[in-house]
């Protein structure tokens, strides 16, 4: 391992720094996954490399220990593109350390959290089994990442008694927030077809831009709900509005928009699709088409015993009381929830996807202590 004793697998900073130095822009081509596999193999883990036919997405399942309650850690090694490297204070894959911070793409999201889980497994006395589910495809389409891991586990009759997704979910300090569910996410394309014509003779044409603008205005301004006791209000954002018309004197034939909805348990994909279609039809009868690109439903994890176990570990090690939350975007917990109790806990999400992404060295130390405490205290929830 770079920058230290190759056997120092209990050092989260050294592990995170090594991972950050690997360019694994989504999907991970395999180098970062292989590095994780090498470390877990050195700890004595049994390894399974999972890659679905034709997908070319590397995934790793690892098991430490044999028999007893199954505790799992889930994470991803792929990262979003760094953008213009010239805008970074330190090269995005240098793993630079300065001012108590580790800089680099993925330091915060989420190679730091994954490093903490590995370091904790190296430190802990494991009472049962500790599993790792690591994918190289979370920041991308995610169709053959953790979803593939879950399909493999289900096919082999394997679940878990508790799983921590080590995403950077903390707010101001490590352990102050425990994600116990997530809003759903729906991406849709909206296309309105009109009749092309000359802008000087609008009565001889049908302008789809005007119709699409009216549709988008209603969708963006109509409140979907007021939120629930556990979820924020649902929201819709227009992420793209395209006509592709280079001429100023031509009414175009088509106009398109891309929509993203973040929704709570008051809605389903089917109900939202129906709402989008009804609004579109009202403003562009017979001329609008709604296409659902991808969707993941909202969920709330009903796992009080496991949530209490993790919260107790935070309280014991850091003297903090995590607040249950369902805010933010979506995560791979949406796949894992079907196999057992899941929570999300990681470093502070201060810089994910930003220029000069970083994680605090103190954050890595604190999260490793929490994960170690969870491993050593974990018993199968009643």
How far is 192 from 282, CA to CA, in rounded Å?
12
How far is 11 from 3, CA to CA, in rounded Å?
11
Q: What is the 3-state secondary structure (H, E, C) of 230-282?
A: CCCCCEEEEEEEECCCCCCCEECCEEEEEEEEEECCCCCHHHHHHHHHHHHHH
- List, edge to edge, every strand of the sheet that includes 254-263: 235-242, 254-263, 184-193, 288-296
Dihedral of the alpha carbons of 62, 64, 66, 71, in degrees to the nearest 10: -80
Active-site residue (options: 28, 109, 129, 138): 138
Active-site residue (options: 78, 129, 161, 332): 78
Q: Is 376 in the active site?
A: no
CA of 208: how far to CAs of 58, 192, 254, 369, in Å? 43, 6, 6, 58
Q: Which residues pair with 197 in a beta bridge?
A: 251
Task: Kindly state the helix (H) or strand (E) to which residue 43 belongs, with its residue range.
Answer: none
Collapsed DSSP state (helix, strand, coil) of residue 299: strand
Collapsed DSSP state (helix, strand, coil) of residue 69: coil
Dihedral of the alpha carbons of 199, 240, 187, 92, in degrees to the nearest 10: 160
Q: Considering only CA atoms, which of 292, 320, 307, 332 is closest in space to residue 230?
A: 307
Q: What token pair was written down for 240?
A: 């793209």
How far is 28 from 37, CA to CA, in rounded Å?
14
Q: Is 302 in the active site?
A: no
Q: Which residues are known catalytic residues?
A: 78, 138
């Amino acid at each position: 391992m770079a920058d230290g004793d190759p056997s120092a697998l209990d050092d989260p900073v050294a592990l995170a720094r090594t991972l950050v130095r690997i360019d694994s822009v989504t999907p991970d081509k395999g180098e970062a996954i292989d590095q994780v596999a090498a470390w877990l193999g050195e700890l004595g883990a049994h390894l399974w490399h999972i890659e679905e036919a034709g997908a070319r997405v590397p995934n790793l399942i690892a098991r430490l220990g044999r028999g007893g309650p199954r505790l799992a850690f889930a994470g991803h090694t792929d990262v979003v593109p760094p953008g213009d490297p010239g805008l970074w204070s330190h090269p995005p894959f240098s793993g630079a350390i300065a001012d108590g911070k580790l800089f680099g793409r993925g330091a915060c999201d989420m190679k730091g959290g994954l490093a903490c889980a590995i370091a904790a497994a190296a430190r802990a006395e494991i009472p049962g089994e500790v599993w790792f589910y690591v994918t190289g495809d979370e920041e991308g389409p995610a169709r053959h990442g953790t979803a593939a891991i879950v399909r493999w586990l289900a096919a082999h009759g394997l679940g878990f008694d508790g799983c921590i997704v080590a995403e950077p979910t903390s707010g101001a300090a490590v352990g102050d927030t425990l994600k116990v569910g997530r809003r759903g996410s729906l991406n849709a394309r909206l296309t309105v077809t009109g009749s092309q014509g000359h802008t000087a003779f609008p009565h001889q044409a049908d302008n789809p831009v005007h119709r699409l603008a009216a549709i988008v205005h209603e969708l963006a301004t109509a409140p979907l709900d007021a939120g629930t006791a556990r979820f924020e209000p649902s929201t819709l954002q227009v992420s793209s509005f395209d006509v592709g018309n280079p001429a100023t004197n031509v009414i175009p034939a088509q106009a398109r928009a891309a929509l993203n909805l973040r929704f709570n348990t008051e809605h389903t994909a089917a109900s939202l699709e129906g709402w989008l279609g009804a609004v579109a039809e009202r403003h562009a009868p017979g001329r609008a088409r709604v296409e659902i690109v991808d969707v993941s439903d909202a969920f709330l994890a009903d796992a009080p015993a496991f949530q209490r176990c993790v919260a107790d570990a935070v309280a014991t090690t850091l003297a903090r009381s995590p607040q249950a939350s369902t805010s933010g975007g979506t995560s791979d917990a949406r796949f894992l929830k079907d196999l057992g109790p899941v929570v999300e806990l990681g470093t502070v999400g201060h810089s994910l996807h930003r220029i000069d992404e970083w994680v605090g060295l103190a954050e890595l130390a604190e999260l490793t202590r929490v994960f170690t405490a969870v491993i050593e205290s974990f018993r199968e929830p009643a």
